[in-house]
Amino acid sequence: MSDWSGRVAIVTGAASGIGRSAVKRILTQGGSAVAVDLSASALDWLDQDDPAGRRTRRVAGDVTEEATNVRAVEAAAALGGLHAMLLNAGIPGMGTLESLDMTTFDRVLAVNLRAVVLGVRAGLPALREASAPSIVVTASVSGLGGDPGMWAYNAAKGGVVKFLRAAALELGRDGIRINAVCPGPIHTEMTRAVQNSPIHEELRRHIPLGRWGEAEEVAAVLTFLASPIASFINGAIVPVDGGVSAGSAQFTPWGPLSDR
131 is catalytic: no
- Stretch 232-243: mean pLDDT: 97
Say if CB 122 and CB 73 are below 8 A apart. Answer: yes
pTM to 2 decimals? 0.93
pLDDT in tens, 35-85: 999 999 999 999 999 988 999 999 999 999 999 999 999 999 999 999 999
- Stretch 238-251: mean pLDDT: 89
d(C-alpha 29, C-alpha 54), whole Å: 15
Q: Which residue of the set 151, 153, 163, 212 is catalytic? A: 153
Which pLDDT score, from 0 to 100, does residue 249 have? 74
Set out the domains of the chain in order of their start, with CATH numbers. 8-244 (3.40.50.720)
Which pLDDT score, from 0 to 100, does residue 2 have? 63
Give 189's pLDDT tier (boundaries 50, 70, 90). Answer: confident
Is the pLDDT at 133 greater than 90? The verdict is: yes
Which pLDDT score, from 0 to 100, does residue 252 have? 76
d(C-alpha 58, C-alpha 176), whole Å: 25
Give 250's pLDDT tier (boundaries 50, 70, 90). Answer: confident
Alpha helices in the chain (DSSP H): 17-28, 46-49, 66-78, 102-109, 115-128, 151-171, 198-204, 215-226
